[in-house]
Structure 1
Amino acid sequence: MRHKILRITAIFALTLIFSWGIFQPAALALTDEQSLLAEVWRIVNRAYLDETFNHQNWWFVREGFLKRDLTSREETYDAIREMLGSLDDPYTRLLPPEQYRSLQTSTAGELTGVGLQISKDNQSQSLQIIAPIEGSPAATAHLQPRDRIIAIDGLPTEDLTLDEAANHMRGPIGTKVVLTIVRGEEAPQDIPLVRDVVNLNPVFTRLARISEDLTVGYIRLSQFNANAASEVSDAIKTFEQQNVNGYILDLRNNPGGLLSGGIDIARQWLDDGKIVYTFDRRGVVDDFEATGSALTDAPLVILVNEGTASASEILAGALQDNRRAQLVGSKTFGKGLIQSLFDLSDGSGLIVTVAKYKTPANHDINRLGIRPNQTVPLANLARDQVGTEQDTQYQAAIDLLSQSMVMASAP
């Protein structure tokens, strides 16, 4: 009897195991569309700055989206955008292949379009201009930092992501796009722009002989692309051969770009000192320092405004905090977050906020910006008036350099 019970128990146990094998859901292979979504999820899960993922269970988010019936790549892109949107971070976003190639080309120094760097305010959801690119159709139309774009060809921008807005502003060279702009408390106005090739040569220079005692090397840096650091270095070396005794570095309307560019250019002005601190999601601190290879020790004034953002603020903050330069102009934009770019398997790209930074004096400038040493208002200038006598901020910089020459020559 005892053996019979044991046999029945064994059979029952085997039946349970067999039944569990039947009813236990097998790990199903992911479709190509699900695999791409899961790839994006893994990158964000590993690298995103906020480990709370905007106070939500990131695993549950993944499971919810993988249950969707994704039948096309466009549906998958929409699902990925929705998933990333739950982070409430306009800088973490998907770039489909065409947009990704455009960004890579822009970083390398070329671009087509209207020439705008844009941002989205998390609180108001308004699309605003960080800065127009020097020489672009947007700059020619006198669009300004902090201008709000409320419509593109009549399409309201409130519910558009950054990339959707950028995509609406792209198009064939010679075609027209109309931006509806609000500036401050003024009434909305329609600004027609004709898309064109945007020259991204990041550096413009001019030698200015102010007096017998002061010769100034003027460097206007429009963005931090792959060429920026080498071109600024070449400009400084050329000015040193011309015996300049003061510099003006114009970072107005420079929306940033490559972090490495800001660090490398800071090193061209500093022999020692911290340049920037970065913090990842675990609070791990990394820092970047000068390497003892400054190209000049001549006095330096930096021009900044509301369009000075990101890598420009890293550079300006480093030189201000190390007392290497004085800042003139108006408070900067206030973007203290760092993004990394990730390749995806289908040729698209993913931009993810991976760190935040602070200046050498431990200032967190995100949403706060950097205050200049000397605040100087500036009226609208024509393109050919920038860096001239009509440019009040430029003239204030010249006055500071003149004073430094007087002080240097005093007994």
Structure 2
Amino acid sequence: MNRPQPIVQPLTLVSTVVFTTAVSLLNPLSSRTSQAASFEDSPKAVLDEAWQIVNRDYVDDTFRQIDWQQVREELLGQEYSSREQAYAALRRALARLDDPYTRFLDPEAFEALNEQTSGELSGVGLRLERDNERQSLSIVEPIPNSPASREGIREGDRILAIDGNSTRHMDVDDASQRIRGTVGTPVTLRIQRGEREFDVTLVRSRIELPAVHHSLSLEGETRVGYIRLSEFSSHAHEQMYRAIEELKKEGVDAFVLDLRGNPGGLLSVSIQIARMWLNEGAIVSTVDRHGRVDAIEATRTALTDLPLAVLVDRNSASASEIVAGALQDNGRATIIGTQTFGKALVQSVNSLSDGSGLAVTVAHYFTPNGTDISENGIRPDTRVEMTRDQQLLLSREGHRRGTSADPVYSRAVDLFQREAPIATSNGAEMKVLDLKRP
């Protein structure tokens, strides 16, 4: 059987994922027998593709003490009346590895994952919520630089109909599917704004989703640049670069990087972002099934050396933990919040011939100090545990994150304000913010 070709897009996701394209694992068409051609057209072909990928790449070459050859015989020895039945058999086979991150993705789920990690979607750029009291859909916000924002759609507008179909009994998922579509095609929304109703026709386009939000706050005499990173999607490093540079131009004294609730994303992006904050030192090392170590270092490309606090919680995972671990182990930042999720595994995501996909754990990663954070996570330098009421407030009113109503952010500000004067090498006095002080 031919070995699948190397990755088409060298993206590494942190759950952590490498996107690859699986080519046919059968013989070339010119030499196929009719039996082989029949096999390729059956659900068994996808099962064999998936089995081969796991056999080649899975991080544990003992397959958790599972007889992986026997698994192949079982998969291909059955008859399947539908692809769904074959998918179910594959999921059962993968479950025997007892690895929740090695998983099969049907075509719809695989497309959604690709879209999520690309940081783009095809649509008009609206975030929606269901207003059950009014039996309608409300606009939470139009995404900046989207067709919706350019046409003047506002936060709080209600959508009464989509292409003539009433939204009275539509949920958010149904409405989103109707609004999204092929780039260049129109969709007409019936909008209610106050007592006024009107139609607006929007042309769908590719929209870059914002993963980075930033703001500047004057906290006492300290100008704090707050940056929230929601996921490590493919445009996140570009957005992070712009946020840091814009805040520097505004004369910030210190930065807060908020990784709370960030589940991860692309490993390559996490490395690029770590290098924006860290001028030298190790970032992360990965170890594959053969014990090969790939050690990744900073490249003297830091954008700032201003004091930095990183906010984390139990839902900061994978790529978030790589960045937090790199900044903590190198003494570049103070980590504030609660212990992180504890995911130290790298996945490759492979496309299969029928449009489905397969995520496979291919490596283990370690922080610069060689720490394995599996299940233990990153331990904060300064622990701040929010009450349930505080968590609910920030969840309901997201605009309060990174303000005085946010206890974790407030603790970072408190640490920033404990400044101590020191002498520089040329005798001039300057102020530093000692973030390692208890």
TM-score scaled by length of structure 1: 0.71
Of 332, 338, 344, which residue of structure 1 is paired with 2:346? 338
- 2:247 pairs with 1:239: yes
Amino acid at match of 2:264: G
| Residue 117 (structure 2) aligns with | 107
* Structure 1 unaligned regions, length at least 5: 1-25, 113-134, 139-168, 176-197
For residues 273-352 of structure 1, what are the structure 2 equivalents within 5 Å? 273-352=281-360
Amino acid at match of 1:338: V
**CA distance in 1 between partners of 2:51 and 2:264 (Å):** 27
| Residue 44 (structure 2) aligns with | 34
Q: Is contact 1:337-1:357 (8 Å) kept?
A: yes
Q: 1:386 to 1:199 in 2, by over 3 A?
A: farther
Q: Is contact 2:338-2:379 (8 Å) kept?
A: yes
Amino acid at match of 1:88: D
RMSD of aligned residue pairs (Cα, Å)? 2.5
Q: 1:286 to 1:219 in 2, by over 3 A?
A: same
The Cα offsets for residues 58-117 of structure 1, whole Å up to 9 and x where unpaired, read as: 1111012111012321121111111111111111111111111111111122579xxxxx
| Residue 49 (structure 1) aligns with | 59
Q: Is contact 1:277-1:357 (8 Å) kept?
A: yes
**CA distance in 2 between partners of 1:342 and 1:170 (Å):** 30
- 2:224 pairs with 1:209: no
Amino acid at match of 1:173: A
Q: Is contact 1:136-1:199 (8 Å) kept?
A: no
Aligned residue for 1:54, secondary structure, equals: helix
Aligned length: 310
Q: 1:405 to 1:222 in 2, by over 3 A?
A: farther
**CA distance in 1 between partners of 2:208 and 2:102 (Å):** 27
Q: Which has the higher contact order (CA 8 A, sep 6+)?
A: 2
Q: 1:76 to 1:208 in 2, by over 3 A?
A: same
| Residue 71 (structure 2) aligns with | 61
- 2:417 pairs with 1:402: yes
For residues 121-270 of structure 1, what are the structure 2 equivalents within 5 Å? 171-173=173-175, 200-212=209-221, 214-270=222-278
- 2:400 pairs with 1:390: no
Amino acid at match of 2:84: E
Amino acid at match of 1:69: E
Instruction: From the two aligned structures, give the one with the greater strand fraction.
Output: 2
**CA distance in 1 between partners of 2:34 and 2:56 (Å):** 23
- 2:98 pairs with 1:76: no
Aligned residue for 1:327, secondary structure, equals: strand
Of 373, 377, 380, which residue of structure 1 is paired with 2:385? 377
| Residue 126 (structure 1) aligns with | none
Larger CA Rg, structure 1 vs 2? 1
Q: 1:88 to 1:137 in 2, by over 3 A?
A: farther
Q: 1:356 to 1:170 in 2, by over 3 A?
A: farther
**CA distance in 1 between partners of 2:364 and 2:420 (Å):** 38
Shift of 1:283: 1.5
Amino acid at match of 1:349: G
Q: Is contact 2:312-2:335 (8 Å) kept?
A: yes
Aligned residue for 2:257, secondary structure, equals: strand
**CA distance in 2 between partners of 1:204 and 1:376 (Å):** 22
**CA distance in 1 between partners of 2:209 and 2:343 (Å):** 22
Amino acid at match of 2:404: E
Aligned residue for 2:63, secondary structure, equals: coil
Aligned residue for 1:235, secondary structure, equals: helix
TM-score scaled by length of structure 2: 0.67
Q: Is contact 2:43-2:86 (8 Å) kept?
A: yes
**CA distance in 2 between partners of 1:136 and 1:250 (Å):** 24
Aligned residue for 1:50, secondary structure, equals: coil
| Residue 137 (structure 2) aligns with | none
**CA distance in 1 between partners of 2:176 and 2:70 (Å):** 47
Aligned residue for 1:91, secondary structure, equals: coil
Q: Is contact 1:102-1:111 (8 Å) kept?
A: no
Amino acid at match of 2:411: A
Aligned residue for 2:59, secondary structure, equals: coil
Q: Is contact 2:128-2:172 (8 Å) kept?
A: no
